[in-house]
Amino acid sequence: MSRISTEQVKHVANLARLAVTEEEVEKMTKELDAIISFAEQLNELDTTGVKPTSRVVETVNVLREDVAKPGLPVEEVVKNAPEHRDGLIVVPSIID
């Protein structure tokens, strides 16, 4: 027994704005039925006492503390720039 009909596949394809042939609909029906069968196997697992989670592995904030530090000296920064003016790097314009 198929868990999804060809009409449902056509409906979903239409919602996704996909143009599909009858051959593709048949193929997708079989593939989606297999996917649904696989997902239904999860219902057989005993999840009693398992807390819901959004992550499998515990994560911690690994970001450094946001502390202001002095930057590079302007002279050091602009010495490698092909063109600079008033302590700023001059770049080609991209907007007319």
Give whole-number Cα distances, 52 to 35, 55, 56, 96, in Å.
23, 9, 10, 54
Distance CA 29, CA 8 (A): 9
Write down all domains in the chain, each with its CATH number in brackets: 6-44 (1.10.20.60)
Of the chain, the percentage scoring pLDDT greater than 70 comes to 99
Instruction: With cut-offs at 50, 70 and 90, classify the pLDDT of residue 51.
Output: confident
Distance CA 35, CA 37 (A): 5
Output the pTM of the full model. Answer: 0.49
Instruction: With cut-offs at 50, 70 and 90, classify the pLDDT of residue 1.
Output: low
Residue 54: both structure tokens together: 């959004």
Instruction: With cut-offs at 50, 70 and 90, classify the pLDDT of residue 96.
Output: confident
Residue 75: both structure tokens together: 């002279």
Q: What is the 3-state secondary structure (H, E, C) of the chain?
A: CCCCCHHHHHHHHHHCCCCCCHHHHHHHHHHHHHHHHHHHHHHHCCCCCCCCCCCCCCCCCCCCCCCCCCCCCHHHHHCCCCCEECCEECCCCCCC
